[in-house]
Amino acid sequence: MGTKQFKAESKRLLDLMINSIYTNKEIFLRELISNASDAIDKLYYRSLTDKNVKVDPSKLEIEIEIDKENRNLIIKDNGCGMTEKELETNLGTIAKSGSLAFKEQNEKKEDIDIIGQFGVGFYSAFMVSDKVTVESKSIDSDQANKWESKGAEGYTIEPSDKSEVGTTITLHIKEDTEDEKYSEYLDQYKIQELVKRYSDYIRYPIKMDIEHSRKKEGTENEYEKVVETETINSMVPIWKRDKNKVTKEEYNNFYTEKFSDYAEPLKVIHTSVEGQFSYKALLYIPSHLPYDYYSKDYEKGLQLYSNGVLIMDKCSDLLPDYFRFVKGLVDSPDLSLNISREMLQHDRQLKVIAKNIENKIKSELQNMLKNDRETYEKFFNIFGIQLKYGTYSDYGINKDKLKDLLMFYSSTEKKLVTLGEYVSRMKEGQDKIYYACGESVDKIDMLPQVDSIKGKDYEILYLTADVDEFVMQILQDYEGKKFANVCANDVDIETAEEKEETKKENEENKAMFDIMKEAIDGKVQDIRFTHKLKNHPVCLTSEGALSVEMEKVLNSMPNGQGVKAQTVLEINIDHPIVEKLKSLYENNKEDLKEYTKILYAQARLIEGLPIENPTEISNLVCKMISK
Ligand code: ADP
């Protein structure tokens, strides 16, 4: 049988493994044990749901054997095994889940990241071995096969005479080098330690022959070597253990291994509920955005176990969309093993559990917000946008559940604050929650309208995410306080006298405003004087439901409709420009028109909108400078 080549990307990954400078090489063992355990899970599950497959649960196990003489480390399971075709696809190609991401990230990221990030699994064997042999017999085939590879040059598959269903992986351990002592993987204590550290919770026994030295019977101090087969893991799934007895390291190790993350989680939630429906749940909030989070490949969901038996890998019904970043598992003794995906959707018990889990996640987040602000802010910077989408989507049906978890940047606190905090310190007489939108905190801070409200000592929420203003619209109010966009005319901070004055001035100068409006082709709804600007000459205020910021967001969408916010050009009544305009109106209407064009362009620029006719404006400015 000829040597087959690995698929191109597998080969790259393999090269990485073989020449790996990754210091944490020992994880290969946990990867292989985890695969073995998965394979046993599969077989056991088959036996529960398929009459034709018979299994004695008490015999299910993983065996580790050390053959020092031949430098072999052998990991053997009696799980479902692999057919010839499965050997080919599973071991000839890197795990499909990771392959795409690997390709995308490989250019940018360092090797080390790739190894950790995509749970390269089986291939990690090549970090410590110069030859890997996989003998496997599938539950679905009478013919066993042997897959073998020395790494980069490819692999062979040939029939084997393995008689029992399952898989045996033989690692030929590399020779020691100056930097690496590979031989330690042939040491029983080292292997014992690694199993304890990484794979203790595996629910099948991991057995190994352990050599002890024992005093020879009938002698004073003569010792003999005896070999006993021992189970070296405790087999209790971590989620079934008393949470006071599980260390942080154990929780974290379980997470990184089980959910293929290179980074420790931000938060662990371990809960046990007894009652009408009992269950245990172990949930994790990742500490970074999963690489595929915003791609269609990302599947939300929790692993679902029935009394320790995995029945579904990603049960999406257990998580609402706005908590789709949560990873973890749920184990309930009351669930039927035979349940199908479709049936689960209608399962009452699952619905109750899902509801409980949702509440649990929410209350944990609230606690974090209250007691561990720093971590919550970290969380919010990563997944806050998800909560905002959750608030906004489905016509705001979940907004009441989520509104207290939201945070926005505050002009006075200079950090993220909650709506509750904002309302609690509102000034006397302030009846609205002020916000302003823009690309960045710095840009918003410079908006003329913001400047004036800040000048009056009001706190303003700076909205920098596209979804933010839509969230405000869907929330409408918080504790009865309406939201008000300081760049829209729903903000009213002029005093009664000021109002009187602008009203009068606006009426008196109507003819001037008409000429000005005409100069900019009626692009604004109105032009008027205002008292609300502190230092700036002009601003563009939106009128109606659609703000300038929303116009930008909507028009940047693929199906953008070319919507336009209705705007008003407001001129600072206390600014010297007013006298200038008035005198131009009397003496030089052509200049008045040109000045209007410049002012309008300025107002657009400040709002972050493009100037529609940059050449004309630049010529006008030049003309003015040269005067
Ligand atoms: P992953 O476990 O992330 O899918 P691996 O590279 O570790 O990726 O394994 C690839 C696939 O090979 C597994 O998904 C599984 O189908 C199969 N496999 C690996 N080890 C075993 C085993 N001991 N028994 C049966 N199948 C296995």
CB of residue 42 inside a 6 A radius of ligand 1? no
CB of residue 41 inside a 6 A radius of ligand 1? no
Q: Which atom of ligand 1 is nearest to the CA of 34?
A: 2
Q: Is residue 251 located within the same domain as residue 317?
A: yes
pLDDT of residue 107: 44
pLDDT of residue 117: 46
CB of residue 95 inside a 6 A radius of ligand 1? yes
- The span from the CA of 391 to the CA of 525, in Å, is 32
Taking a C-beta distance cutoff of 8 angstroms, is the pair 170, 152 a contact? no
- Ligand 1 centroid from CA 69, angstroms: 28
Q: Can you name the residues that pair with 329 across neighbouring β-strands?
A: 282, 303
The last residue of a domain, from among 459, 486, 513:
486
pLDDT digits over 462-496, tens only?
Answer: 999 989 999 999 999 999 999 999 988 767 777 88
Q: Is residue 334 located within the same domain as residue 385?
A: no
Q: Specify the amino acid at residue 433.
A: I
Q: Tell me if 1 is assigned to some domain.
A: no
Q: Which atom of ligand 1 is nearest to the CA of 169?
A: 23
Q: Tell me if 2 is assigned to some domain.
A: no
The last residue of a domain, from among 443, 461, 486:
486
Taking a C-beta distance cutoff of 8 angstroms, is the pair 447, 396 a contact? no
Q: Is residue 141 located within the same domain as residue 212?
A: yes
In this structure, the number of other CB atoms found within 10 A of the CB of residue 167 comes to 26
The residue contributing the CA closest to ligand 1 atom 20 is 35
Give me the helix-helix angle, 248-258 and 27-49, nearest 10°: 70
CB of residue 117 inside a 6 A radius of ligand 1? no
CB of residue 121 inside a 6 A radius of ligand 1? yes
Residue 478: CA count within 13 A, CB half-sphere: 25
Q: Which atom of ligand 1 is nearest to the CA of 94?
A: 6
CB of residue 533 inside a 6 A radius of ligand 1? no
pLDDT of residue 23: 66
Cα 467 to Cα 186, 369, 550, 609: the distances in Å are: 56, 22, 9, 18
pTM over 0.75? The answer is no
- Ligand 1 centroid from CA 470, angstroms: 45
pLDDT digits over 104-163, tens only?
Answer: 444 444 444 444 444 467 888 988 999 999 999 999 999 999 999 998 778 999 999 999
Show the domain range for 117: 8-231
Q: Tell me if 116 is assigned to some domain.
A: yes
Q: Is residue 113 located within the same domain as residue 204?
A: yes
Taking a C-beta distance cutoff of 8 angstroms, is the pair 137, 162 a contact? yes
Q: Tell me if 3 is assigned to some domain.
A: no
Q: Is residue 582 located within the same domain as residue 599?
A: yes
Q: Tell me if 590 is assigned to some domain.
A: yes
Q: Tell me if 181 is assigned to some domain.
A: yes
Q: Is residue 250 located within the same domain as residue 323?
A: yes
The last residue of a domain, from among 196, 231, 266:
231
Q: What is the token pair recorded at 277? A: 């429906």
Q: Is residue 69 located within the same domain as residue 32?
A: yes
Q: Which atom of ligand 1 is nearest to the CA of 123?
A: 6
Report residue 148: phi and psi, to 5°: -145, 140
- Ligand 1 centroid from CA 561, angstroms: 48
pLDDT of residue 200: 82
- Ligand 1 centroid from CA 147, angstroms: 13
Q: Which atom of ligand 1 is nearest to the CA of 80?
A: 25
Site to substitute for ligand 1 among 13, 35, 82, most atoms within 8 A of C-beta:
35
Q: What is the token pair recorded at 311? A: 């029945």
- Ligand 1 centroid from CA 16, angstroms: 19
pLDDT of residue 551: 83
The residue contributing the CA closest to ligand 1 atom 7 is 121
Q: What is the token pair recorded at 416? A: 């993220």
Q: Count how many domains the chain has.
A: 4
CB of residue 77 inside a 6 A radius of ligand 1? yes
CB of residue 151 inside a 6 A radius of ligand 1? no
> Residue 214's domain is classified under what CATH number?
3.30.565.10
Q: Is residue 435 located within the same domain as residue 482?
A: yes
- Within 232-353, strands assigned E span 267-273, 279-285, 302-306, 309-315, 327-331
- The span from the CA of 600 to the CA of 586, in Å, is 21
> Residue 469's domain is classified under what CATH number?
3.40.50.11260
Q: Tell me if 208 is assigned to some domain.
A: yes
pLDDT of residue 20: 61
- Ligand 1 centroid from CA 144, angstroms: 17
Q: Is residue 50 located within the same domain as residue 186?
A: yes
- Ligand 1 centroid from CA 148, angstroms: 15
Q: Specify the amino acid at residue 578.
A: V
- Ligand 1 centroid from CA 10, angstroms: 14
- The span from the CA of 570 to the CA of 404, in Å, is 35
Sheet holding 267-273, edge to edge: 267-273, 279-285, 327-331, 302-306, 309-315
Q: Is residue 449 located within the same domain as residue 386?
A: yes
CB of residue 166 inside a 6 A radius of ligand 1? no
Q: Is residue 513 located within the same domain as residue 599?
A: yes
CB of residue 40 inside a 6 A radius of ligand 1? no
- The span from the CA of 488 to the CA of 272, in Å, is 50
Q: Is residue 176 located within the same domain as residue 34?
A: yes
> Residue 622's domain is classified under what CATH number?
1.20.120.790
- Within 178-231, strands assigned E span 206-215, 223-231
- The span from the CA of 492 to the CA of 432, in Å, is 10
Total residue length of the chain: 627
Which regions of the chain are under pLDDT 70?
1, 9, 17, 19-23, 93-120, 336-345, 490, 560-561
CB of residue 79 inside a 6 A radius of ligand 1? yes
The residue contributing the CA closest to ligand 1 atom 17 is 90
- Ligand 1 centroid from CA 36, angstroms: 8
- Within 486-579, strands assigned E span 526-530, 538-543, 566-572
Report residue 577: phi and psi, to 5°: -60, -25
pLDDT of residue 98: 41
Q: Which atom of ligand 1 is nearest to the CA of 166?
A: 24
420's CB contacts (< 8 A; 6+ apart) are 404, 478, 479
- Ligand 1 centroid from CA 178, angstroms: 32
Q: Tell me if 553 is assigned to some domain.
A: yes
pLDDT of residue 24: 73
- The span from the CA of 415 to the CA of 424, in Å, is 16
Site to substitute for ligand 1 among 28, 38, 45, most atoms within 8 A of C-beta:
38
The residue contributing the CA closest to ligand 1 atom 13 is 90
